[in-house]
Amino acid sequence: MVSPELSHHQYSPMAKPYGRNRSTPHLTDGFLFLGGAFFALLMVWSFSSLFSTAPRFESTTVSESRAASDGKASSTPGCGTEGVNLRYDPPDATFYDDPELVYTIEKKVENWNEKRKEWLKLHPSFAAGARERVVMVTGSQPKACKNPIGDHLLLRFFKNKVDYCRIHGYDIFYNNVLLHPKMNSYWAKLPVVKAAMLAHPEAEWIWWVDSDALFTDMEFKLPLERYKNHNVVVHGWPKLIYENKSWTSLNAGIFLIRNCQWSMDFMETWANMGPISPEYEKWGQIQRSMFKDKLFPESDDQSALVYLLYSDKEKYYDNIYLEGEFYFEGYWVEILPTYDNITEKYLEIERGSRTLRRRHAEKVSEYYAAQREPYLKDAGNGRWSWRRPFMTHFTGCQPCSGDHNQMYSGETCWGGMVKALNFADNQVLKKYGFMHPNLRDSSMVSPVPFDYPDEGPWG
Ligand SMILES: *[C@@H]1O[C@H](CO)[C@@H](O)[C@H](O)[C@H]1NC(C)=O
Ligand SMILES: *[C@@H]1O[C@H](CO)[C@@H](O)[C@H](O)[C@H]1NC(C)=O
Ligand SMILES: [Mn+2]
């Protein structure tokens, strides 16, 4: 069950001029994939159930009584779930009332676009911001981690995702059960993503993020506009798929998938190269013969995805956006050495901007992110850039099982994670008036002194 022992080359993106999609990738080195510890993944912990409706949706309570009758939004709809009516579900039949509908990965869902549309029509307060709405899905295995610090690390990785979602108004679902007994390890995410699509007809995108990946730029937002003609977005490089035929030509640990019928069909095809398939063994052999750099015999989700892109380019290449312009996820070994200089660069920017030094409520963080953008126009993206890397992925480190790839020492992995987590946490803690003065020391915090601006209304 422990997954494949991996050792292979790693690729990754280089900065690329903005704007063009999927032209030639500049790669250099990159990422690994994962392996082990993924046995299971997943789990749950829906935020909304924990904090119930009160704190997040305050604005809706005011005019709820007025809005409840027709499900209209009670305030301006955003791209998140603010301004929606959480207390309205009309008696009209929807796909949820269809006894034939099942959530499991083996059974087809048909006419999903129509069903979703119908549901949105009956829930107009959700319809308004639906095109931009994202639900993040992540998780880990059902059992305690074997690595003694594994559960602590997973908690911090999860906290990081919660922070990111809170700042940007996204919902998040954490799953820690195996939804299909055969779909374990790296295959476990597929049944969860499918279930999340059905559970969230209000969301246009489901965003799967591995438990070993974290946001290291809390301000960056996905350029969803760029993906408007695509149904799946994954970090990858066409040249490595079509010329090198490498199983690490993309990374399946983080992906966006549009909540639509195409994606339902795609998930079915994808999942059918996994352990639920009677042909599972055969798929492993096919992958191995096709990808010379794949060293383990079992069919895996990432090779399966590369296989689909390679063998049926016509069908998949136009639908799957291979994002190579920024760190949609990035290989931690490449990113780790850059945090210190980046921290310094950002401080330098802030020293020159009264606006960026101004204290503010966490809720308005996106405003300040936009104010910072002009200062980052020369920063580049991806490799060699001094922009904060969007996501750092601890591929091969296996925080939960501890069965890290032998290419790295455990200390390198755990120390790297602590540094990355604190680098990210500083961006959050600052809004609460504190910071980690030393990225290697998680327990130490200092208050952030009030930084008097030189002039202006609050000086
Ligand atoms: C991909 O293939 C080309 C030519 O076949 C080779 O020069 C290059 O090094 C390969 N890239 C990687 C990352 O393996
Ligand atoms: C950080 O900046 C210093 C000084 O500019 C430079 O010498 C060093 O190579 C940089 N380190 C990294 C990892 O980019
Ligand atoms: Mn991973």
Whether 24 lines ligand 1, by a CB cut-off of 6 Å, is no
What is the CA(55)–ligand 2 centre distance, in A?
Answer: 44
pLDDT mean over 3-15:
34
pLDDT-based confidence at 451, cuts 50/70/90? confident
Mean pLDDT of the chain: 86
pLDDT tens string 99-137:
999 999 999 999 999 999 999 999 999 999 999 999 999
For a mutational test of ligand 1's pocket, the pick from 240, 244, 250, i.e. the residue with the most ligand atoms closer than 8 A to its C-beta, is 244
Hey, what are 70's tokens?
């027709």
Nearest atom, ligand 1, residue 29 CA: 13
pLDDT-based confidence at 310, cuts 50/70/90? very high
What is the CA(316)–ligand 3 centre distance, in A?
Answer: 23
Q: State how far the Cα of 25 lies from the Cα of 27, in Å rounded to an integer.
A: 6
For residue 356, is pLDDT > 60? yes
| Percent of the chain residues past pLDDT 70, beyond the cut | 80
pLDDT tens string 163-196:
999 999 999 999 999 999 999 999 999 999 999 9
Q: What is the DSSP annotation of 3-58?
A: --------EEEB---TT--S----EEEEE----TTTTS-B----HHHHH-STTTTH
Whether 353 lines ligand 1, by a CB cut-off of 6 Å, is no
> Model pTM?
0.84
Nearest CA to ligand 1 atom 11: 244
Lowest-confidence range among 32-36, 195-199, 290-294? 32-36
CB contact at 8 A, 394 and 332: yes
Q: State how far the Cα of 420 lies from the Cα of 422, in Å rounded to an integer.
A: 5
More confident residue, 31 or 206: 206
What is the pLDDT, as a whole number, of residue 163? Answer: 98
For a mutational test of ligand 2's pocket, the pick from 332, 333, 341, i.e. the residue with the most ligand atoms closer than 8 A to its C-beta, is 341
What is the pLDDT, as a whole number, of residue 450? Answer: 87
Nearest atom, ligand 2, residue 340 CA: 1
End-to-end CA distance of the chain, in Å?
Answer: 61
What is the pLDDT, as a whole number, of residue 70? Answer: 55
For residue 379, is pLDDT > 50? yes
What is the pLDDT, as a whole number, of residue 83? Answer: 85
pLDDT tens string 194-214:
999 999 999 999 999 999 999
For residue 459, is pLDDT > 90? no
More confident residue, 61 or 191: 191
What is the CA(244)–ligand 1 centre distance, in A?
Answer: 6
Beta strand extents in 298-365 (DSSP E only): 320-323, 330-331
pLDDT tens string 80-101:
566 899 999 999 999 999 999 9
Pocket of ligand 2 (CB under 6 A): 337-338, 341
Nearest atom, ligand 2, residue 338 CA: 13
